[in-house]
Amino acid sequence: MSPFLLTRTLPEDATDAALRADVLSGLTRHPKTLPPKWFYDARGSELFEEITRLPEYYPTRAEREILEERSEEIAAVSGARTVIELGSGSSEKTRHLLEALTGLESYVPVDVSESALTGAAESLLVDHPDLSVHALIADFTGGLALPGTPGPRLVAFLGGTIGNLLPEERAGFLHSVRSLLSPGDALLLGTDLVKDEETLVAAYDDAAGVTAAFNKNVLSVVNRELGADFPLDAFDHVAVWNPEQRWIEMRLRARRALNVKIRELDLVVPFEAGEEVRTEVSAKFRQEGVREELAAAGLRLAQWWTDAEGRFALSLATA
């Protein structure tokens, strides 16, 4: 059996320092914000997996449909010997693709969640004992140091997670991906598509309240990691469609005026009744926009696939 390597590109206290910096800057500005990457502790990753099975949350199923339909095609076009998956989570959808790639030698899943990475690698290695898996605990928005693995390489960024980045962050991210690619390498990018508001809002405000629990989980993370005293029941989950920016915004709205103490930051954060913290944007795309953003980063849109209902797209881009 090939070795399973797990590398933390940042020391554990760097993660802690990043959380402190994000919480300090996000909660002392107006409007208040918290970055979505802090949703994903073990509980948050579990809740996200639960979201992907909700009737209202279509992106995972739509993307899986494309991967099931098109994996052979993607494999043939890319011929990859290494797949690098950014934000790999459970790696469940990627399986099809990995299995279609007949010359695959190496898989590099990159995620902020250690629990998701180890779980994914364990289950993958059961079926593919000869695959070399080198998992990276890393925040891929901050530039990546990748292990030296055989080319051609396919960098996969699935799930629509690029939509969590603001437009300027997306541009920076795509440039850094571009700089990782050698001739013959490719980027496989998943993007959720613009559609009617009702469908979009329902996907982020499900009837069972799982997304609400996922959203509030970021407060539990801050409570645990930074000794804060956010009362979770004093906040409501809010999901709104912003038609100008073409993104869904998730927010947490204070039900009443309150002061939150964050012990480790020596900070008291005042909330007015009704005040909101923006915890996530999830941008939705059209083909022309994707093409333009790729082109601006020096990438060429070579293939565009959608599910039968046209809800979600996979793009294959080359340098």
Q: Which residue is nearest to ligand AVJ (CB)?
A: 282
Give, as ranges, the residues between 217 and 276 that touch ligand AVJ (CB under 6 A).
Answer: none
CB of 38 to ligand AVJ, least distance (A): 12
CB of 145 to ligand AVJ, least distance (A): 23
Query: Which segment (69-77, 120-128, 130-138, 158-166) binds ligand AVJ by CB under 6 A?
Result: 158-166
CB of 176 to ligand AVJ, least distance (A): 18
Task: By CB under 6 A, tell whether 164 contacts ligand AVJ.
Answer: yes
For residues 5 and 10, give the distance between their C-alpha atoms in angstroms, rounded to a whole number: 15
Task: By CB under 6 A, tell whether 161 contacts ligand AVJ.
Answer: yes
Task: By CB under 6 A, tell whether 163 contacts ligand AVJ.
Answer: yes
CB of 243 to ligand AVJ, least distance (A): 17
Residue type, 125: L
Please, where are the H alpha helices in 53-187? 59-78, 94-100, 114-127, 167-180
The residue assigned the tokens 């996200």 is 48
Of 61, 64, 117, 108, give the one whose Cα is nearest residue 89.
Answer: 117
3-state secondary structure 116-149: HHHHHHHHHHHHCCCCEEEEEECCHHHCCCCCCC
Rule CB under 6 A: choose which of 26, 44, 59, 109 binds ligand AVJ: 59
Task: By CB under 6 A, tell whether 91 contacts ligand AVJ.
Answer: no
Cβ(292)–Cβ(170) below 8 Å:
no
For residues 179 and 242, give the distance between their C-alpha atoms in angstroms, rounded to a whole number: 32
Q: Which residues have a Cβ under 8 Å from the Cβ of 243 and sit 6 or more positions away?
A: 197
Rule CB under 6 A: choose which of 45, 191, 282, 315 binds ligand AVJ: 282
Query: Which segment (3-11, 20-28, 118-126, 154-162) binds ligand AVJ by CB under 6 A?
Result: 154-162
CB of 52 to ligand AVJ, least distance (A): 8
Polymer length of the chain = 319
Query: Which segment (153-161, 217-225, 262-270, 293-301) binds ligand AVJ by CB under 6 A?
Result: 153-161
Task: By CB under 6 A, tell whether 35 contacts ligand AVJ.
Answer: no
280 annotated to a ligand binding site: yes
Cβ(218)–Cβ(39) below 8 Å:
yes
Task: By CB under 6 A, tell whether 211 contacts ligand AVJ.
Answer: yes
Burial of 234 (0-12, 13-18, 19+ CB in 10 A): middle
CB of 96 to ligand AVJ, least distance (A): 18
Task: By CB under 6 A, tell whether 109 contacts ligand AVJ.
Answer: no
Q: Which residues have a Cβ under 8 Å from the Cβ of 33 and sit 6 or more positions away?
A: 26, 277, 278, 279
Count of other CB atoms within 10 angstroms of residue 178: 18
2 or 220: CB nearest ligand AVJ: 220
3 state SS of 296: helix
Positions that interact with ligand AVJ (CB under 6 A): 51, 59, 159-161, 163-164, 204, 211, 280, 282
Residue numbering of the annotated binding site for S-adenosyl-L-methionine: 87, 93, 111, 139-140
Residue numbering of the annotated binding site for L-histidine: 57, 164, 204, 280-282
